């Protein structure tokens, strides 16, 4: 459930981008009406309507996430604050400069900030953030907790680099292809990593049960 909640802005971004792309002229007019006074230069180009509308929706969705958590009387965790802040900052830069390259940096910044948080906590404060989250559900030997945390750090750094490679090399100049990769490729890699992690931990869980 939490995973779906975390991907809420991404899914809305993707749906908005694709639907707006089917009606490019209408999306251009709507985007110009909504953000015409907030962009630099001569305004957005006709083909930028979909990415502008999708960016607006992503920002609103991220803010709604925080409001929803607050209204339920729960604490907004650090990573959600980071995610909302990055989406808002880079989304606003994308809108103001009407340049999708700012938005393309967003996933990498979020993943690298997560990696940095894990690294600082582990080596600076001797605190394993993965253990803090998962230890209520499973019990693992200390070395396994450390390897698990390091694996997430490497994964976050690697997928951040992969996003930059996809955005600025593989799919350079093709925003539609990058959006597809960001939504399905990177999400698929995350799920694959989680599945691999589950298989890795299963033997320790079974040993614990025995």
Residue 7: predicted pLDDT: 84
Q: Are 122 and 129 in contact (CB under 8 A)?
A: yes
Q: Are 49 and 28 in contact (CB under 8 A)?
A: yes
Closest C-alpha to 165, from 190, 192, 185, 191? 185
Across the chain, which has 210 residues, the per-10-residue mean pLDDT values are 75 96 96 92 92 96 94 89 93 95 96 96 94 87 94 97 97 95 95 93 66
For 127-163, b/e burial (b = at least 16 CB within 10 A) is ebbbbeeeeeeeebeeebbeebbeebbebbbebbebb
Global pTM value: 0.90
Q: Are 24 and 49 in contact (CB under 8 A)?
A: yes
pLDDT tens-digit readout, 150-189: 999 999 999 999 999 999 999 999 999 999 999 999 999 9
Find all residues with CB under 8 Å of 203, minimum gap 6, and list them: none
Q: Are 20 and 52 in contact (CB under 8 A)?
A: no
Residue 135: predicted pLDDT: 87
């Amino acid at each position: 459930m939490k995973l779906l909640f975390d991907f809420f802005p991404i899914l809305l971004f993707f749906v908005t981008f694709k639907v707006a792309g089917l009606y490019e002229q209408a999306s251009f007019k709507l985007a110009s009406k909504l953000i015409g006074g907030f962009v630099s230069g001569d305004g957005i180009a006709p083909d930028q309507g979909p990415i502008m509308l999708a960016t607006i929706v992503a920002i609103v969705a991220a803010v709604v996430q925080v409001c929803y958590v607050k209204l339920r009387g729960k604490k907004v965790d650090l990573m959600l604050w980071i995610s909302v802040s990055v989406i808002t900052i880079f989304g606003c830069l994308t809108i103001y400069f009407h340049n999708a390259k700012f938005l393309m940096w967003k996933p990498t910044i979020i993943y690298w900030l997560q990696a940095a948080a894990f690294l600082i906590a582990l080596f600076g404060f001797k605190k394993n953030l993965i253990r803090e989250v998962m230890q209520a559900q499973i019990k693992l030997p200390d070395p396994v907790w450390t390897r698990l945390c390091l694996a997430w750090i490497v994964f976050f750094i690697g997928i951040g680099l992969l996003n930059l490679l996809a955005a600025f090399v593989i799919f350079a100049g093709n925003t539609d292809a990058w959006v597809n990769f960001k939504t399905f490729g990177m999400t698929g890699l995350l799920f694959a990593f989680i599945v691999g992690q589950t298989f890795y931990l299963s033997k320790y869980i079974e040993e614990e049960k025995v």
